Amino acid sequence: MSSDFDRLQPQVILQAIESAGYRTTGEYTQLNSYENRVFDVRLEANRTAPDPVDRLIAKFYRPNRWSEKAITDEHEFLAELQSEGIPAIAPLPMNNNRTTLEFEGYKLALFPRVVGRMPDEFLTGQLKQVGRTLARIHNVGARKKAVHRPTLTSKSYGWDVLSRLEPFVYPELWPRYEDVCIEILEHLDEALDEAEYIRIHGDCHKGNLLHNGKEFFFVDFDDFVNGPVVQDFWMLLSGSLDDDDANREQDEICEGYEELREIPDEWHLFDPLRALRIINYASWIAQRWKDPFFQQIFPAFTTYNYWLDELNRLEKIAATL
Protein backbone atom coordinates (compact mmCIF):
# COMPACT_ATOMS: atom_id res chain seq x y z
CA MET A 1 0.00 0.00 0.00
CA SER A 2 1.13 3.52 -0.68
CA SER A 3 0.69 6.79 1.18
CA ASP A 4 0.04 10.26 -0.18
CA PHE A 5 3.29 11.24 1.50
CA ASP A 6 5.61 8.54 0.15
CA ARG A 7 7.40 11.14 -1.99
CA LEU A 8 7.91 13.48 0.96
CA GLN A 9 11.49 12.47 1.67
CA PRO A 10 13.99 14.57 3.72
CA GLN A 11 15.51 16.16 0.62
CA VAL A 12 12.08 17.25 -0.63
CA ILE A 13 11.12 18.68 2.79
CA LEU A 14 14.28 20.79 3.06
CA GLN A 15 14.29 21.89 -0.58
CA ALA A 16 10.68 23.04 -0.30
CA ILE A 17 11.50 25.21 2.73
CA GLU A 18 14.61 26.59 1.03
CA SER A 19 12.57 27.46 -2.07
CA ALA A 20 10.24 29.48 0.17
CA GLY A 21 13.18 31.70 1.11
CA TYR A 22 14.35 30.16 4.39
CA ARG A 23 17.78 28.62 4.89
CA THR A 24 17.66 25.35 6.86
CA THR A 25 20.37 23.78 9.00
CA GLY A 26 19.19 20.34 7.85
CA GLU A 27 17.84 19.53 11.32
CA TYR A 28 14.12 18.90 11.73
CA THR A 29 11.71 16.87 13.86
CA GLN A 30 8.43 15.40 12.68
CA LEU A 31 5.44 16.39 14.84
CA ASN A 32 2.24 14.45 15.45
CA SER A 33 -0.31 14.91 12.69
CA TYR A 34 -2.64 12.33 11.17
CA GLU A 35 -3.97 14.28 8.20
CA ASN A 36 -0.95 16.32 7.09
CA ARG A 37 2.80 16.14 7.66
CA VAL A 38 4.19 18.73 10.05
CA PHE A 39 7.84 19.40 10.94
CA ASP A 40 9.70 21.54 13.46
CA VAL A 41 12.61 22.94 11.41
CA ARG A 42 15.75 24.76 12.56
CA LEU A 43 17.05 27.59 10.39
CA GLU A 44 20.33 29.33 9.78
CA ALA A 45 20.59 33.09 10.23
CA ASN A 46 19.48 34.74 7.00
CA ARG A 47 18.78 38.47 6.81
CA THR A 48 17.18 38.09 3.39
CA ALA A 49 14.56 35.59 4.60
CA PRO A 50 10.95 36.75 4.28
CA ASP A 51 10.78 36.69 8.10
CA PRO A 52 14.03 36.36 10.12
CA VAL A 53 13.01 33.53 12.45
CA ASP A 54 15.43 30.89 13.72
CA ARG A 55 12.90 28.08 13.79
CA LEU A 56 9.59 27.36 12.08
CA ILE A 57 6.84 24.81 11.69
CA ALA A 58 6.47 23.47 8.14
CA LYS A 59 3.07 22.07 7.20
CA PHE A 60 2.69 19.92 4.10
CA TYR A 61 -1.01 19.56 3.30
CA ARG A 62 -2.33 16.17 2.27
CA PRO A 63 -2.61 16.22 -1.56
CA ASN A 64 -6.08 16.66 -3.06
CA ARG A 65 -7.73 17.56 0.23
CA TRP A 66 -7.90 21.37 0.11
CA SER A 67 -7.90 23.64 -2.90
CA GLU A 68 -5.58 26.62 -3.01
CA LYS A 69 -8.57 28.92 -2.41
CA ALA A 70 -9.69 26.89 0.62
CA ILE A 71 -6.23 27.16 2.17
CA THR A 72 -6.19 30.88 1.40
CA ASP A 73 -9.48 31.25 3.30
CA GLU A 74 -7.85 29.59 6.32
CA HIS A 75 -4.75 31.78 6.14
CA GLU A 76 -6.75 34.98 5.67
CA PHE A 77 -8.82 34.16 8.75
CA LEU A 78 -5.66 33.56 10.78
CA ALA A 79 -4.26 36.90 9.57
CA GLU A 80 -7.51 38.63 10.62
CA LEU A 81 -7.25 37.10 14.08
CA GLN A 82 -3.61 38.09 14.45
CA SER A 83 -4.34 41.66 13.33
CA GLU A 84 -6.85 41.87 16.21
CA GLY A 85 -4.23 40.73 18.70
CA ILE A 86 -5.92 37.35 19.17
CA PRO A 87 -3.50 34.53 20.12
CA ALA A 88 -3.76 32.45 16.96
CA ILE A 89 -0.77 31.61 14.77
CA ALA A 90 -0.83 33.11 11.28
CA PRO A 91 1.42 31.71 8.52
CA LEU A 92 4.79 33.21 7.68
CA PRO A 93 5.38 35.02 4.38
CA MET A 94 7.31 33.36 1.57
CA ASN A 95 9.46 34.85 -1.15
CA ASN A 96 6.64 34.37 -3.66
CA ASN A 97 4.64 37.00 -1.71
CA ARG A 98 2.13 34.36 -0.66
CA THR A 99 1.61 32.09 2.33
CA THR A 100 1.58 28.83 0.35
CA LEU A 101 4.01 27.19 -2.02
CA GLU A 102 3.50 24.31 -4.44
CA PHE A 103 6.51 21.96 -4.44
CA GLU A 104 6.77 18.46 -5.91
CA GLY A 105 2.99 18.09 -5.77
CA TYR A 106 2.66 19.25 -2.16
CA LYS A 107 1.20 22.48 -0.81
CA LEU A 108 3.45 23.96 1.87
CA ALA A 109 2.73 26.55 4.56
CA LEU A 110 5.16 27.80 7.19
CA PHE A 111 4.28 28.99 10.68
CA PRO A 112 6.25 30.56 13.53
CA ARG A 113 7.05 28.13 16.32
CA VAL A 114 5.20 28.88 19.55
CA VAL A 115 6.44 27.29 22.76
CA GLY A 116 3.71 26.01 25.06
CA ARG A 117 2.05 22.94 26.47
CA MET A 118 -1.29 21.35 25.77
CA PRO A 119 -3.48 21.24 28.89
CA ASP A 120 -4.17 17.80 30.35
CA GLU A 121 -6.89 19.50 32.35
CA PHE A 122 -7.94 23.09 32.89
CA LEU A 123 -6.96 24.82 36.12
CA THR A 124 -9.42 27.09 37.88
CA GLY A 125 -9.95 30.23 35.83
CA GLN A 126 -8.39 28.91 32.64
CA LEU A 127 -11.65 28.01 30.94
CA LYS A 128 -12.87 31.55 31.57
CA GLN A 129 -9.77 32.78 29.73
CA VAL A 130 -10.42 30.30 26.90
CA GLY A 131 -14.02 31.47 26.68
CA ARG A 132 -12.98 35.09 26.41
CA THR A 133 -10.54 34.32 23.57
CA LEU A 134 -13.10 32.11 21.83
CA ALA A 135 -15.57 35.01 21.88
CA ARG A 136 -12.98 37.21 20.20
CA ILE A 137 -12.40 34.55 17.52
CA HIS A 138 -16.14 34.30 16.90
CA ASN A 139 -16.54 38.06 16.73
CA VAL A 140 -14.08 38.05 13.85
CA GLY A 141 -15.62 34.90 12.38
CA ALA A 142 -19.04 36.53 12.25
CA ARG A 143 -17.90 39.31 9.91
CA LYS A 144 -18.23 37.21 6.75
CA LYS A 145 -18.39 33.63 5.49
CA ALA A 146 -15.47 31.55 4.26
CA VAL A 147 -16.51 31.13 0.63
CA HIS A 148 -14.22 28.21 -0.21
CA ARG A 149 -14.41 26.25 3.05
CA PRO A 150 -16.93 23.50 3.90
CA THR A 151 -20.19 24.20 5.71
CA LEU A 152 -20.85 21.89 8.65
CA THR A 153 -24.23 20.33 7.84
CA SER A 154 -25.91 16.98 8.42
CA LYS A 155 -25.58 16.39 4.66
CA SER A 156 -21.90 17.16 4.19
CA TYR A 157 -20.72 15.62 7.47
CA GLY A 158 -23.27 12.80 7.74
CA TRP A 159 -25.50 11.77 4.86
CA ASP A 160 -22.78 12.15 2.22
CA VAL A 161 -20.32 9.92 4.10
CA LEU A 162 -22.57 7.27 5.63
CA SER A 163 -22.30 4.87 2.68
CA ARG A 164 -18.52 4.90 3.07
CA LEU A 165 -18.89 3.09 6.40
CA GLU A 166 -20.98 0.09 5.33
CA PRO A 167 -17.99 -1.97 4.12
CA PHE A 168 -16.29 -1.51 7.51
CA VAL A 169 -19.16 -1.99 9.97
CA TYR A 170 -19.75 -5.64 10.87
CA PRO A 171 -22.73 -6.93 8.83
CA GLU A 172 -24.69 -8.00 11.91
CA LEU A 173 -24.31 -4.47 13.36
CA TRP A 174 -24.92 -2.48 10.19
CA PRO A 175 -28.76 -2.38 10.31
CA ARG A 176 -28.74 -0.94 13.84
CA TYR A 177 -25.84 1.37 13.01
CA GLU A 178 -27.55 2.71 9.88
CA ASP A 179 -30.87 3.16 11.70
CA VAL A 180 -29.39 5.18 14.56
CA CYS A 181 -27.36 7.33 12.16
CA ILE A 182 -30.49 8.07 10.15
CA GLU A 183 -32.36 9.03 13.33
CA ILE A 184 -29.59 11.41 14.40
CA LEU A 185 -29.11 12.94 10.95
CA GLU A 186 -32.84 13.50 10.48
CA HIS A 187 -32.86 15.28 13.83
CA LEU A 188 -29.97 17.49 12.72
CA ASP A 189 -31.71 18.21 9.41
CA GLU A 190 -34.35 20.03 11.45
CA ALA A 191 -32.17 21.40 14.25
CA LEU A 192 -29.32 23.07 12.34
CA ASP A 193 -29.90 26.58 11.02
CA GLU A 194 -27.29 27.64 8.45
CA ALA A 195 -28.49 31.24 8.68
CA GLU A 196 -26.84 31.36 12.12
CA TYR A 197 -23.50 29.96 10.95
CA ILE A 198 -20.23 31.86 11.22
CA ARG A 199 -16.58 31.00 10.60
CA ILE A 200 -15.43 28.74 13.44
CA HIS A 201 -12.33 26.76 14.40
CA GLY A 202 -14.20 23.51 13.76
CA ASP A 203 -11.91 21.19 15.74
CA CYS A 204 -11.68 23.06 19.02
CA HIS A 205 -10.39 20.62 21.65
CA LYS A 206 -7.64 20.66 24.28
CA GLY A 207 -5.10 19.26 21.82
CA ASN A 208 -5.44 22.40 19.71
CA LEU A 209 -4.66 24.75 22.59
CA LEU A 210 -1.18 25.73 23.73
CA HIS A 211 -0.53 27.58 26.99
CA ASN A 212 2.66 29.64 27.02
CA GLY A 213 2.50 30.49 30.71
CA LYS A 214 0.38 33.59 30.18
CA GLU A 215 -2.36 32.81 27.66
CA PHE A 216 -3.80 30.12 25.44
CA PHE A 217 -2.97 30.04 21.74
CA PHE A 218 -5.52 28.44 19.41
CA VAL A 219 -3.66 26.28 16.86
CA ASP A 220 -4.37 23.98 13.91
CA PHE A 221 -7.23 25.59 11.97
CA ASP A 222 -7.04 22.78 9.38
CA ASP A 223 -10.74 21.95 9.95
CA PHE A 224 -11.80 25.61 9.83
CA VAL A 225 -15.40 25.74 8.53
CA ASN A 226 -18.63 27.69 8.47
CA GLY A 227 -20.70 26.19 11.26
CA PRO A 228 -22.73 26.58 14.45
CA VAL A 229 -20.99 28.47 17.25
CA VAL A 230 -21.55 25.70 19.81
CA GLN A 231 -19.35 23.35 17.74
CA ASP A 232 -16.35 25.20 19.19
CA PHE A 233 -17.59 24.62 22.76
CA TRP A 234 -18.53 21.00 23.23
CA MET A 235 -15.12 19.41 22.52
CA LEU A 236 -13.55 21.55 25.23
CA LEU A 237 -15.83 20.11 27.92
CA SER A 238 -15.40 16.81 29.74
CA GLY A 239 -18.65 15.14 28.74
CA SER A 240 -22.34 15.55 28.03
CA LEU A 241 -24.16 18.49 29.57
CA ASP A 242 -25.87 16.19 32.10
CA ASP A 243 -22.43 15.54 33.59
CA ASP A 244 -21.59 17.62 36.69
CA ASP A 245 -18.03 18.36 35.56
CA ALA A 246 -19.19 19.43 32.10
CA ASN A 247 -21.82 21.69 33.67
CA ARG A 248 -19.21 23.36 35.85
CA GLU A 249 -16.88 23.78 32.89
CA GLN A 250 -19.69 25.15 30.75
CA ASP A 251 -20.48 27.78 33.38
CA GLU A 252 -16.84 28.87 33.52
CA ILE A 253 -16.24 29.05 29.77
CA CYS A 254 -19.52 30.92 29.28
CA GLU A 255 -18.59 33.40 32.00
CA GLY A 256 -15.56 34.45 29.96
CA TYR A 257 -17.36 34.25 26.61
CA GLU A 258 -20.27 36.50 27.57
CA GLU A 259 -17.90 39.30 28.55
CA LEU A 260 -17.38 39.90 24.82
CA ARG A 261 -20.16 38.07 22.96
CA GLU A 262 -23.67 36.82 23.59
CA ILE A 263 -23.87 33.19 24.67
CA PRO A 264 -25.22 31.04 21.80
CA ASP A 265 -28.71 29.63 22.21
CA GLU A 266 -27.57 26.30 20.76
CA TRP A 267 -26.89 24.02 23.72
CA HIS A 268 -29.57 21.60 22.45
CA LEU A 269 -27.13 20.84 19.61
CA PHE A 270 -24.38 19.69 21.98
CA ASP A 271 -25.04 15.93 21.89
CA PRO A 272 -26.31 15.74 18.27
CA LEU A 273 -23.11 17.46 17.11
CA ARG A 274 -21.12 15.00 19.20
CA ALA A 275 -22.87 12.18 17.34
CA LEU A 276 -22.19 13.83 13.99
CA ARG A 277 -18.53 14.00 14.94
CA ILE A 278 -18.52 10.26 15.74
CA ILE A 279 -19.99 9.43 12.33
CA ASN A 280 -17.75 11.81 10.41
CA TYR A 281 -14.59 10.77 12.27
CA ALA A 282 -15.22 7.11 11.43
CA SER A 283 -15.82 8.00 7.78
CA TRP A 284 -12.55 9.97 7.75
CA ILE A 285 -10.64 6.88 8.94
CA ALA A 286 -12.43 4.78 6.32
CA GLN A 287 -11.53 7.27 3.60
CA ARG A 288 -7.85 7.10 4.60
CA TRP A 289 -7.75 3.35 5.25
CA LYS A 290 -5.56 2.58 2.24
CA ASP A 291 -2.84 4.70 3.84
CA PRO A 292 -0.77 2.21 5.91
CA PHE A 293 -0.15 4.92 8.51
CA PHE A 294 -3.86 4.88 9.40
CA GLN A 295 -3.88 1.11 9.74
CA GLN A 296 -1.04 1.44 12.24
CA ILE A 297 -2.65 4.12 14.41
CA PHE A 298 -6.20 2.74 14.28
CA PRO A 299 -5.60 -1.05 14.46
CA ALA A 300 -8.99 -1.72 16.12
CA PHE A 301 -10.97 -0.05 13.33
CA THR A 302 -11.87 -3.34 11.63
CA THR A 303 -12.78 -5.18 14.84
CA TYR A 304 -16.26 -6.08 16.06
CA ASN A 305 -15.73 -4.40 19.43
CA TYR A 306 -14.80 -1.09 17.81
CA TRP A 307 -18.08 -0.89 15.94
CA LEU A 308 -20.13 -2.17 18.86
CA ASP A 309 -18.68 0.64 20.98
CA GLU A 310 -19.43 3.20 18.24
CA LEU A 311 -22.99 1.88 17.99
CA ASN A 312 -23.53 2.04 21.75
CA ARG A 313 -22.29 5.64 21.87
CA LEU A 314 -24.62 6.69 19.05
CA GLU A 315 -27.64 4.87 20.49
CA LYS A 316 -27.06 6.50 23.88
CA ILE A 317 -27.12 9.95 22.24
CA ALA A 318 -30.13 9.11 20.09
CA ALA A 319 -32.08 8.13 23.20
CA THR A 320 -31.75 11.71 24.49
CA LEU A 321 -33.04 13.45 21.35
Active centre residues (catalytic): 203, 220
Q: What 3-state class would DSSP assign to 153?
A: coil
Give the residues across from 30 on adjacent strands: 39
Q: Burial level of 9, CB count in 10 A (0-12/13-18/19+)?
A: exposed
The HSE-up count of residue 69 (CA atoms within 13 Å, CB side) is 5
The b/e string for 129-148 (b: 16+ C-beta within 10 A; e otherwise) is: bbbbbbbbbbebbeeeebee
Beta bridge partners of 40: 29, 57
CB contact set of 69 (below 8 Å; sequence gap of 6+): 147, 148
Give the span between the Cα atoms of 226 and 223, in whole angstroms: 10
